[in-house]
Chain A
């Protein structure tokens, strides 16, 4: 009998180690290369962010920027920093990002990136047999050759077969809501606060302050596709472009035993049966998507004048279809450093079971 899923070999790991430190310049765009008004709107709307600073020219004209700008996590539509490529046929779970932002992205900016694999750590995972965590650094620059942001991203790579056999998540039932539960979610949508032009001054912030939560859910395939439309995708390619890709990367196909159909592993984010193939009880969100939701929480809170300097997030648990996520945060520190008035925030994603699915932290610079 042939192996249904690829195995992670020592040779594969050794080969991959040779790539550490190589600076990779992409030959083709990932998704967006420019912060146009359409691209910014598609991205913001794709994460459910209705802040007028990203889309409303009339509103933005009256701000200090004089035109719309892009949310910091718009860079996710330029590239998903997830530790880089490698390991043909081995599944990758996007596991975290550590962002440092240096400049705002203004309308019309052109954005490029380089990616460098920086480390590879073998790991004993609860989820699967042999697995590694691969780390990369991505540097984003604009057309003025200014570094806009740097990010360390990492993914867990694990054999699909091992992950499917382990079935750690199999017993998790699909979320069910009463009418009241749903009403509470809708109420939380209505309570969302976009600070906007009401400047949040550093002096007015107190340690222990809570950020007004942002809710995302119950998660639907609709939300996943809206994110793809705004932020792109790694493997979604149509027709001939997919065939060309498949020929260059013959191990890409993943069989879905329920349907027998071989297609890209990325469909675990859309198809329940394909997610079941790797031991997950339902299709689930993208890691970069959930990290962008945390960005939404921060930009809502800091207002038009605030600047998101750092955002760190770890994807710890799956967020499957019909789950609801609340993005929450609390001020943990405030201080002045090199004349900047900074606030540290502990932030996280929490689901309807009360589990923290993504712990994180952020640093915001506020006006005085």
Chain B
């Protein structure tokens, strides 16, 4: 008997038949409203201490009438690409999001989402045998009927067994740091710059300038759980709710050969033995989580008057527990479009090995002196 599911033509046909069909989630993913608690849990879950998200006293002195939510808060409403449908028992690796933000998120805004599966593309992967990339668009609307954002999310779908046999990552060791290296990480935390109420004027930005990096690490299970507390999770359900889900989706469970227990595959983000079941050397962060860290980099830099218009990121390499990620950015272009003063930024997540684990790019609208 196969211990892990394999991709069949029938499964693919069933999934392809859903392309273009609007899906209205019947149950909330995690948050449905941007309450002050939900915003704080989300911001703190990504390690973002910007007072614009949490501090009512700070807000009284700002141009906003209440706290607002960071743009990537919408991830806690619905994970683009993270709520995977189809191909039961086939593992999904969150691989990227292309966000377009249209409206700010104000305190107590409520959201509804629509998801549309847009494409299924076969791919030759280094990681496993037969793999596909599944694309979906998510539309986020608020209680005023406004389109707040659109996200295209994509996930790589690959057989768990094939992924394990390949063992592409089996040589990677858990990160270790000298005292000096840890001190450097702490220093980088201290160097973080929240621009805040000091406007970053478009005129003052020069092409080629670097954004002050944001550091996240060394990654711990603590960070992963803090993230789920703020951002939600596709499969973490307790007790009877887990049983009910398992009955509706019997192929979801993955057996951990080390412990013999069957549980949700999502535990690859917490338990080394579950990750090893997929040929990954250890537990690793969530794709949507890391993309939110890039959001943190950008909102830090642009200040309270900036608007994040677009954020594109590809999750390319694993970020294991113990790894450290620096979110970095560089201004690549500045221009005026439809009266908006825009800046393009190339940004990325880089780990302690100097590898780019997540390339990305963003567009920010800044206030003008003119």
- Residues of A that sit less than 8 Å from B by CB: 29, 31-34, 36-39, 41-42, 45-48, 50, 186, 189, 192, 215-218, 220-223, 225-229, 232-233, 235-243, 261, 263-264, 266-267, 270-271, 322
Contact = CB atoms under 8 A, between A and B. Distances in A.
Contacts of A263: 220-222
Contact of A42 (B30, B46, B49): B30
Given A221-B267, A232-B229, A238-B44, A31 B37 contact: yes
A247 B241 CA distance: 39
A339 to B, nearest CB: 36
B46 A239 contact: yes
15 contacts: A31-B37, A36-B33, A38-B30, A38-B31, A41-B28, A46-B238, A217-B239, A220-B267, A222-B235, A226-B236, A226-B242, A228-B228, A236-B229, A237-B44, A238-B222
Given A229-B30, A238-B47, A241-B49, 10 more contacts: A31-B41, A39-B37, A220-B267, A222-B266, A223-B238, A225-B270, A226-B238, A227-B238, A239-B217, A243-B186
Given A34-B35, A39-B35, A229-B232, A238 B239 contact: no
Contact of B47 (A232, A239, A264, A322): A239
A189 B240 contact: yes
Contacts, number: 147
Contacts of A222: 235-238, 242, 263-264, 266-267
B340 to A, nearest CB: 31
B222 A237 contact: yes
Given A238-B227, A239-B46, A322-B261, A267 B239 contact: no
Interface string B208-227: 00000001110011110111
Contacts of B193: none
Contacts of A225: 225, 228, 233, 236, 270
A365 to B, nearest CB: 27
Contacts of B33: 36-38
B285 to A, nearest CB: 11
Contacts of B47: 238-242
B256 to A, nearest CB: 11
Contacts of A42: 30
Contacts of A237: 44, 222, 226
B267 A240 contact: no
Nearest to A216: B239
B35 A48 contact: no
Contact of A38 (B35, B222, B261, B270): B35
Contacts of B32: 37-38
B192 interface: yes
Nearest to A246: B186
Contacts of B266: 222
B41 A34 contact: no
Nearest to A269: B225
B222 A45 contact: no
Contact of A220 (B220, B232, B261): B261
Contacts of A226: 236-238, 241-242
Contact of B240 (A32, A48, A238): A48
Interface in B142-161: none
Closest 8 pairs between A and B when the two form their complex, measured CB to CB:
A239-B47, A48-B239, A226-B238, A238-B226, A48-B238, A238-B47, A240-B47, A223-B238
Contact of A240 (B192, B225, B235): B192
A241 B237 contact: no
Given A33-B37, A222-B264, A47 B222 contact: no
Contacts of B189: 239-240, 243
Contact of A47 (B226, B228, B238): B238
B271 interface: yes
B37 to A, nearest CB: 5
B36 interface: yes
A187 to B, nearest CB: 11
A263 B216 CA distance: 15
A218 B145 CA distance: 43
B89 interface: no
A39 B339 CA distance: 41
B205 interface: no
A29 B322 CA distance: 29
Given A29-B37, A222-B237, A238-B46, A228 B225 contact: yes
Contacts of A29: 37, 40
Interface string B19-30: 000000000101
A241 B215 CA distance: 12
Contact of B243 (A36, A189, A267): A189
A161 B170 CA distance: 35
B223 A238 contact: yes
A45 B241 contact: yes
Interface in B241-273: 241-243, 261, 263-264, 266-267, 270-271
Contacts of B49: 240-241
A247 to B, nearest CB: 9
A237 B47 CA distance: 8
A270 B32 CA distance: 28
A25 B107 CA distance: 25
A215 B240 CA distance: 8
A186 B38 contact: no
A75 to B, nearest CB: 14
B271 A221 contact: yes
Given A242-B222, A271-B221, A45 B271 contact: no
Contacts of A216: 238-239
A42 B29 CA distance: 10
A229 B266 CA distance: 15
Given A38-B31, A236-B222, A271-B221, A33 B36 contact: yes
A236 B217 contact: no
B45 interface: yes
B276 to A, nearest CB: 15
A295 B223 CA distance: 29
Contact of A239 (B38, B216, B236, B264): B216
Nearest to B231: A229
A233 B30 CA distance: 18
A283 B163 CA distance: 29
Nearest to B174: A259
Greatest chain B CB density within 10 A among A39, A192, A226, A264 is at A226
